[in-house]
Amino acid sequence: MADWLQCCGVTTVAMESTGVYWIPLFEILDRRGLQPCVINARHMKNVPGRRTDWHECQWIQFLHSAGLLRAVFGPMIRCARCGCRIQHVISDITGTSGLAIIDAILAGERNPAELAKLRDPRIKASREIVEKSLLGNWREEQLFTLGQSLELYRS
């Protein structure tokens, strides 16, 4: 899709921020050289009329191309979320398994299968579920923050 947009001469793409679902698309478009622009959903809430998602995306793009929508500052929000959802699978992230997995991530391991092997057998979630929860985009600033948080926790 990003290649097609670039062929058509599109350089910026506007999207509405709903939950965390915009983050993967934002990262894909950003990596492909486009300039994604995240629009605050509250700004669209006051626009009258009932629209389907298809009509709303066209309306957002029209308003953005006319310069009538401001982008929210997304990079800081995006950097704070790596996509890893281990805290929903391991109830005590500061327990044996959680700390072992965090230590391995900070040591450079990114393979979810290898990280899932570090889980304690007493954890109710299966190895496959733990693997799925460890899928994410590991950015340098996220790893730095994780390391700082772990250091503070252990001191």
pLDDT tens for each residue of 15-73: 777 666 777 787 788 778 888 878 777 766 666 666 677 777 778 878 877 877 777 65
Kindly give, in sequence order, each residue whose CB lies less than 8 Å from that of residue 41, ignoring residues fewer than 6 positions away.
16, 17, 18
SS3 call for 96: helix
Q: How far apart are CA 42 and CA 28, in angstroms?
A: 24
Sequence ranges of the domains in the chain:
2-78, 82-154
Q: Quick check: 79 pLDDT over 50?
A: no
What is the model's pLDDT at position 77? 47
| Location of structure tokens 């391995």 | 104
